[in-house]
Amino acid sequence: MRDRSRRTLALAVFAYGAVTSGAAWGEEGGRVHQGRIVRIAAGPTYLHESWHPSAGTGDAVHTGWGPALDVTVGKFVRPRLVLAGSVQAAAIIDRDETTLGMTYALDDTIHFVDTLAALVDFYPDPARGLHAGGALGLAFVTEVDTHMGGSQTSWGPVAALHVGWERFISRRWSAGGMFRLSLYHYGTDTPPPEAASNGLLVTVLFAFTYD
């Protein structure tokens, strides 16, 4: 029994030492949240966009999938708080239109939704890698006709919320994932009639962050 107690005590001391040394590395060596931050992220995005013409014609709903790329550059102004600028580009290459009860594939178009925004990111517990925040800015929506070669761009406000988790893979680099919801609005009059559109982007991003 005495030998078993000694082994149990030694194991407990070893486990405590491993945990405390890991926590110390996380706070002092591994997770140094300070200075500038650069985050590069990519992943799939889903679009749901409603189109409302000013004339009496029927509304339309556009849905589809595509790739998204996000680049964020900023600075830790506090150990847990980031202020940054964010650029996101999304290309919806697989899109359908539903109007008057009928659904059509928009095979000859690419729908770009690019955003430029000011972003706030907060880490409640840096040791756990969880972070959340939001952004406000402008959305630039470009419709490209790949068959005829024409394009048109409209713009409007955008607001986004995100939540993410990351794990340090080196002293300065971390890897993880993010989930983002972006709401935007824009108007257009080409081609007529004048119309307003409200869009939602649901994006899952795989991120690499340097700080």
Taking domain 33-210, whether its CATH number is 3.40.50.1110 is answered by: no
The residues, any chain, with a CB within 8 Å of residue 194's CB and separated by 6 or more, are 53, 54, 187, 188
- In one-letter notation, the amino acid at residue 13 is V
Per mean pLDDT, which range of 53-62, 87-96, 182-191 is the poorest?
53-62
Do you find a cis peptide bond into 192, omega within 30 degrees of 0?
Answer: no
**Is residue 8 predicted with pLDDT exceeding 90?**
no
Give the tens place of pLDDT for each residue, 163-173: 999 998 988 88
The domain limits of the chain are: 1-30, 33-210
At residue 146 the predicted structure's pLDDT band, cuts being 50, 70 and 90, is: confident
Residue-level pLDDT at 161: 98
Put simply, whether the predicted model's pTM sits higher than 0.85 gets the answer no
